[in-house]
Structure formats: structure tokens, C-alpha cells
Amino acid sequence: MSTAVAKRKQSKRTSLSKEEFKSRVREWALKLDVSAQSITVRPMSNKWASCSTAGKLNFNSELLSFDSDVADYVIVHELLHLFVPNHGKLWKSLMRAHLGDYESLDNRLRKKGL
């Protein structure tokens, strides 16, 4: 079994509460050594998440019901923007270091729409 398939099987779809999701964001922030000033989970019609230069993170409430690996992709994506404001080589290297094949997670997210 390939690593990607094994990871997908390990991924669990559970519906998290907003507080559980925020706790997951804080856990990742500690791992990545970044500081989020605020974490908000709310309905968003045009994007999965956003962050400001002031460290304010907003996450689409639909993420609460996504597979944990896809939700983690969105969380890490936004948290890394607090350190690297673009999608350049450094950002991509950090994504790969923390999530492995993050491109496949991005593809799964894109299939969900928005």
C-alpha cells in the first residue's frame, strides 16, 4: 500500500466543534512556532480560510466536517503565511516538510469547490 493511500485510510472524518478545531489550530501553531492573535471559525462563501498580517485567522466552518488531513492542510497553509506571506519556494518547502505530499491534499480540497 502506498504511503498516500495509507495516510488517507488513517485520515478520519469527524465533525469537530469550533473549540476543538481552534484547539487543533493552536496545536499546529505551537509546532510551527507561530503566534495567532485570534482564531475565528465562521461561514465563508468564497474561501476556506484567510489570515491578516496582524495574525488574525479566519476559517470556513465547513472545515469542521472535513477529513482531518484536509483540515490540517488548510490550518498549516494559513499558519505558514504568518511566517511566509507568499506561496514561494520557502513556503512550499515548509508545507512539504510538515505535511508531505501537500499537493494531493490541495487537490482534494479543490474538488470540494468554493
- Taking only the tens place, the pLDDT of each residue in 66-104 is 999 999 999 999 999 999 999 999 999 999 999 999 999
Averaged pLDDT, 47-76: 95
Give yes or no for a contact between 29 and 35, defined as CB atoms under 8 angstroms apart. yes
Averaged pLDDT, 38-55: 95
Instruction: Give me the pLDDT at residue 12, please.
Output: 56
Domains of the chain and CATH, by start: 15-111 (3.30.2010.10)
The predicted model scores a pTM of: 0.86
For cell 476543538, what's the residue? Answer: 20
Give yes or no for a contact between 48 and 61, defined as CB atoms under 8 angstroms apart. no
Instruction: Give me the pLDDT at residue 114, please.
Output: 72
Instruction: Give me the pLDDT at residue 15, please.
Output: 84
